[in-house]
Amino acid sequence: MAHSIAEIAAALGAKAFGATDLMVDKASEPAAAGPADLALAMTPAYAPALAAGQARCAVVWPDADWQSMGLEAAIFAPRARLAMSRLTQMLDQPLPAIGIAPTAQIDPSAQIGEGVHIGHFTVIGAGAVIGDGCWIGDQVTIHAGVLVGKATVLHPGVRLQRAVTLGDNVILQPNVVIGGDGFSFVSAAPSHVEAARETLGEGPTVIPDDPTWYRIHSLGGVTLADNVEIGASSTVDAGTIRATQIGEGTKIDNQVQVGHNVIIGAHCLLCAQSGVAGSTMIGDRVVIGGMAGVADNLKIGDDVVLGGASVVLSNVPAGRVMMGYPATKMKSHVDSYKALRRLPRLLRNLGKS
């Protein structure tokens, strides 16, 4: 959908200059921009590309000398990424108006709200409740009794298992699995693993009479609060006797694993391929970097930041920034790491003296 520069600037709460009646329907990188595109050049590094490209208008950095770069109009964006949020939302297309596909299998006892879209071959079980304005893609499975709030979006291949409750405005990317059974097994007698924690692995190996791993069933389901988004192929397991919970506004990237009984607070970010093991509690506004892991049964305070690929093996107080394996305060980690890099030469020198 085309918008004028003036309209876009108004939506961004930004100032516009020049020919603000120019119409654009697409944003582009400066070098690739055609004459009908809005170039995005939010830092001075883009200046040469902007001058070389064909854009007639651009979103530029504060104080950019836009006229000298051949532009006919410019929008000044004080916080570039925030502008990107509003701009990409304006230029996005709505989800396809698919209605309710005739091939969808919807149990007669399910309650479907107003204005809901349901794709081909999607299955909705008995007693499930789908709120007004939801958009459910093709080939989704929704177990009997699942509750879905309003305006929630489920992309193709999403699996909602038993006892799952989703809030309003939730977005689940393709192939997300919510409510799979927790990984919870127990041996008849205390196991080798249990012993290893106490002996640091120095005790004798005891081979059990009964090596069976007995299954603890997952009866508790999962609850996702409003405005949660979860990325492609991520998994959130069901709790044992109460729900695994993810708080309001928390955003989760692709291929993230959230174990059974975990409680995650509001407005957290969990980056790709990170994981939180069973029964751990994560506070509000926590940021977990890509590939970072948090062990089971821990408490992570509010506003904690875990660097990419760090591994947390003990509780973390509120506000702390952690890195490494095992994770320590970022400063300690950097000090140890720098010292380690100097160590080979130190050892060589000690060998000489």
Binding to a second copy in span 290-309, by CB under 8 A: 290-291, 293, 295, 302-303, 305, 308-309
CB of 30 to a second copy, least distance (A): 11
Instruction: Kindly name the residue from 3, 143, 260, 333 that is annotated as catalytic.
Output: 260
Asked if 254 touches a second copy (CB under 8 A), the answer is: yes
Is residue 3 annotated as part of the catalytic site, yes or no? no
Asked if 35 touches a second copy (CB under 8 A), the answer is: no
CB of 213 to a second copy, least distance (A): 5
User: Under rule CB under 8 A, which residues in 195-214 are in contact with a second copy?
Assistant: 196, 200-202, 204-205, 207-208, 211-214
Per-residue x/- marks for a second copy, 110-129, CB under 8 A? ---------xxx-x-x----
- State the Cα–Cα distance between residues 88 and 101, nearest whole angstrom: 29
User: Under rule CB under 8 A, which residues in 39-78 are in contact with a second copy?
Assistant: 40
Interface residue with a second copy among 10, 36, 84, 100 (CB under 8 A) is 84
Give the residue with the Cβ less far from a second copy, 32 or 67: 32
- CB under 8 A, 24+ apart: contacts of 16-19: 16/73, 16/74, 16/75, 16/76, 17/66, 17/73, 17/74, 17/76, 18/57, 18/66, 18/67, 18/71, 18/72, 18/73, 18/74, 19/56, 19/57, 19/72, 19/73
Give the residue with the Cβ less far from a second copy, 10 or 219: 219
Per-residue x/- marks for a second copy, 129-158, CB under 8 A? --------xxx-x--x----------xxx-
- State the Cα–Cα distance between residues 39 and 28, nearest whole angstrom: 5
Cβ–Cβ < 8 Å for 59, 51: no
Per-residue x/- marks for a second copy, 310-329, CB under 8 A? -x-x----xxxxx-xxx-xx
Nearby residues of 82 by Cβ (< 8 Å), 6 or more positions away = none
Interface residue with a second copy among 249, 280, 281, 300 (CB under 8 A) is 249
CB of 101 to a second copy, least distance (A): 8
Q: How many of the other CB atoms lie within 10 Å of CB of 212? A: 10
Give the residue with the Cβ less far from a second copy, 44 or 211: 211
Interface residue with a second copy among 133, 171, 298, 299 (CB under 8 A) is 171
- State the Cα–Cα distance between residues 130 and 115, nearest whole angstrom: 10
Give the residue with the Cβ less far from a second copy, 132 or 194: 194
Enzyme catalytic residues:
260
